[in-house]
Amino acid sequence: MLFKVEMTVKIPHDMPEEIAADIKAREKAYAQKLQAQGQWLHLWRVAGSYANVSIFDVQSNEELQEIISQLPLFPYMEISVAPLCRHPSSIHEDDR
């Protein structure tokens, strides 16, 4: 089951750089683990911004919540979620 998730990062200006660097490193590792596991299907940067467009592939709303709420950057992001499903005009097998 697919969800489009858009995340915009807003790190507080007064966060010490080494803390920010640590959070970002853990975010990257976590994002890559989820991609390797198949739950984070697509991850794109929105050009000209500190934001991404992502497609998640999960079994349930609950799994989506568990994944997103554990993002190291979760407290510092504005996040919007849209549930997706197969479009009647799609010819791509993986556009579920």
Backbone angles phi, psi at 4, to 5 degrees: -90, 130
User: Would you count residue 93 as binding a copy of itself (CB under 8 A)?
Assistant: no
User: Would you count residue 23 as binding a copy of itself (CB under 8 A)?
Assistant: no
The CA distances from residue 64 to 1, 10, 50, 68, in Å, are: 10, 21, 22, 6
User: Would you count residue 18 as binding a copy of itself (CB under 8 A)?
Assistant: no
User: Would you count residue 5 as binding a copy of itself (CB under 8 A)?
Assistant: yes
User: Would you count residue 8 as binding a copy of itself (CB under 8 A)?
Assistant: no
Q: How many residues does the chain have?
A: 96
Contact yes or no for 73/27 (Cβ under 8 A): yes
Query: Which residues of the shown chain bind a copy of itself in the complex (CB under 8 A)?
Result: 1-5, 11-15, 27-28, 31-32, 35-36, 41-50, 52-53, 55, 60-62, 64-65, 68-69, 74-76, 79, 81-92, 95-96
